[in-house]
Structure 1
């Protein structure tokens, strides 16, 4: 099968980025500065990833580029980093709690193993538990009781750069597969406020996959953008197919998860 010109350009960008030591960035972004070793100080990097079927390509990109992205984390933190991974549909899986300090190689290996175990399936097009997944990471919520969550998250954030990356294509809906204005959006803002109080910046990657609209859903974009606005993180919208997910993550890491104010 012949590759499209867009795919060829993406491949060229990746090649040039690897050769220069700089991450390729998401479409529409600009590489304002080279990435210096240790620029972020110590890093705690946690992902909250929607694992419904429509996110399949984005997850595939993250897996394909995992080693390069982890090398970038190592560089910007000068080897002082910890990693975590939470995935969700209408329930939550803590795939990897924040790894112990001082175990960079082991942390990278554990993260790759957890990431590659994720399968994109199900979802049925409804809102997902993105707000609650963020709460698990921000508040350090353990499994148990009536909460549909597997695994415990410590919430032991301690690094200089505390980066929480959300990847999703849908509205927050708690655990009931429904979005209620004034309730679920308020819960999302409350999670962001708690993150801000704990020095955690939330960056959101929006994938406009929903097929019932010719353009991205403005409500979804607004809510996802609010995480970044409230905490000082980044908001990135990528291709409907999920293409550009790895480059969006690279941009967030290179920026230490912080929106530059100009």
Structure 2
């Protein structure tokens, strides 16, 4: 009986060992399967939140548009100014050509621009100045009359001294075309202001103040008006 029980006990012990061994291996594999493998870790650069990035982008766009608009405005202003200046230059040049055409038949080329400039300065019709110069001296700056009236506009020495005092000149040369023209045109303007018409101003210019009342009846006035070729422009556009 003893010999039979021992092998049985050994067999049971072996079976128990196998069962335990199998059970431990099963749970070990189960635990190993339950533990996830660690994921790889990558370096991530810090970033602004999406909303802040959107706002920053919109601000950059707004600044760029504002700068572009300012540049366009400045460019348009410069273009408008340049256009206006160009138009003004063209108008001035057209007027100058018109006035040159008006005096070209009476004034030699070397005196034409001087006549225009001085007439504009004193507000006298350049065509009238041209007619006076043509009648007085035929535009010879060295002409001297019977009463020592001198130069292009035939200024008397006494009249020249009076005009020079009003203009503040201490020295002058009546044979100098610019000086003579300046005196003659200035004197015509003063006489027109004094007597109220160009006809009376011309009568006084030639015969003195005592002849001013004759106006158009004065022979000298008739001569100038025939050369002028029509009624004097009262308010010349210069």
**TM-score, normalising length: structure 2:** 0.29
- Relative contact order, CA 8 A, sep 6+: which one is greater? 1
Structure whose residues are more often strand by fraction = 1
Structure whose residues are more often helix by fraction = 2
Higher CA-based Rg:
2
**TM-score, normalising length: structure 1:** 0.27
